[in-house]
Amino acid sequence: MSFLDTLRQWDEAITCADREDLSEALRIFLSIQEKNSKICFDIGCLHLLNQDFDAAEKAFDCSIQKDEHLAIAFFQRGITFYRKQRYEESLADFQRAFKALRGNHLIDYKALGLRYILYACEVLHNMALVEAQLGNWDKAQEHLAKALDYKTEAKLNIIDKALQSTLKQKLFKPVQFPTKVLFKPNKNYVAELEKKDYLGKAKVVASVVPQDAFSGFAPLQPQVEDGPARPKEPEVLRALQGEPHTVLFEFVPETSDELAVVPGNIVFVLQKGADNWASVVFNERRGLVPYNYLEPLEISLASKQNKRVPAPPSREAPTRPARNPAPSDSNRGNTQRQDSQTTDNSYIVKVHYTFNFAVSVPRGSPYATLIEKISKRLSLPAAVITLSLTSEVSEQSVINADTDMESVWSQASGGRITLWCKTKEQTDGTLQKEIVLLALHTYESSNPEDLSFNEGDEITLLSRVNQDWMEGHCNGNTGIFPASFVKEVIYLNISE
């Protein structure tokens, strides 16, 4: 079955569901041969609505197998297990859904064709309910207390009611997904299914040009003396910024300022940092990607003159590697040349702070070189920074001037090592400076990694992603936002 056939049947099934003909919608969905994760999810929702829990479980299994990062599918399968009274499996799925949120307060699926927002506090709410069903009331209260950290004003009421119920050791109702809300195909693709008459209907027009004695059908003549205006440059070409690159390997982001890409994607590099991270644009979104995952793509002048979008590379993309892959034989020559400049003679150090970032240091570097790089990145004096090999600072894990750095670098894997960074009190009794920003304009975004705020809000600066984007904290939320929307107004010395 072709993609167009799948798209057409998917759209027909959604149309049936919209007019409440759910049995016909389910029949069409099941007849689709090439089902993607979203279609499997829709099938599971319809089975769940029909109380067919076994069929719903199988459908959500299929959806998760096709997209293991689809948090809403884990959430729905957790609901299915809960209604089948398989509480341990239900709890495991809610935990997977919460993990897929990656620390964000919510995921808005509108951009993927599903008019639904999955909130982290609701997932924690259901985890608490399952623990209560298992008799683990203390754990239920812990989950609800954590949910308060992820709450939004609209969801605060249900968390408070659930918390009151657990104090009395009484069960409460689960948060359930509205099963009649389904993933819909991309409306732009659906529009292309309609047949178009590019020729159009002929119209008889009278020419207003005095010298025009032609009496038949002819194109409309220009009505200006200087001739026709120059064709406008296509918007797609004017939107291209940066240098085009092809993605060689899959990159799975670990922080909100990183961008997920897969082999074959074409990204546009806006800025390349000295730490081997590049700021790129992909699908109108900006983020960071390791530069050695990319390969420059040549776009000929002729293609620009012909106003055509550059074609993707003709060679086949390599097989998707793991997080730190070894290059395939077909690309070993290219990647070895790139990696030799970044990993053979240097280490990539990923640092966990209030935000995550990476620096590059030469192999065998002393502590002074490492701390200088990190203090420069944080704009803090080295004296207030404590580095550790683990998230918990202990005498054995702390890295300082007395540490044997050979033992530290020996723990690097594939030229990469992860460290944790904390700040401590300076000798003058004050802590690091906090930069506060004032919002000049309201910024609203449906992207879960972005920080939304209103004009006049104060934002605590966490980091500068690049010259155009910053990361900050405002109203209990953390995310990235355009630098042009704010101005720096306050420096604060925070004391104990």
**Does residue 41 surpass a pLDDT of 90?**
yes
Measured CA to CA, the distance from residue 188 to residue 185 in angstroms comes to 9
Please state, for a pLDDT cut of 90, what percent of the chain lies above it. 19
Q: What's the confidence (pLDDT) of residue 108?
A: 86
CA 345 to the chain's CA centroid: 32
Q: For 425-446, what is each residue's pLDDT tens digit?
A: 433 444 445 688 899 988 887 6
* Helix residue ranges per DSSP H, 84-136: 87-100, 120-133
Domains and CATH numbers, the chain: 3-167 (1.25.40.10), 240-301 (2.30.30.40), 343-423 (3.10.20.90), 433-493 (2.30.30.40)
Q: For 59-92, what is each residue's pLDDT tens digit?
A: 999 999 988 889 999 999 999 999 999 999 999 9
Higher-confidence residue of 31 and 467: namely 31
DSSP three-state, residue 306: coil
pLDDT band at 156, cuts 50/70/90? low
From first CA to last CA, the distance across the chain in angstroms is: 66
Which CA distances in Å does 349 have to 256, 257, 356, 368, 408? 18, 17, 11, 14, 11
Q: Which residues contact 478 (CB under 8 A, 6 or more apart)?
A: 256, 451, 462, 471, 472
pLDDT band at 494, cuts 50/70/90? very low
Q: For 363-399, what is each residue's pLDDT tens digit?
A: 888 999 999 888 888 777 888 888 998 887 887 889 9
Closest CA to 288 of 261, 264, 246, 257: 257
Backbone angles phi, psi at 493, to 5 degrees: -95, 115
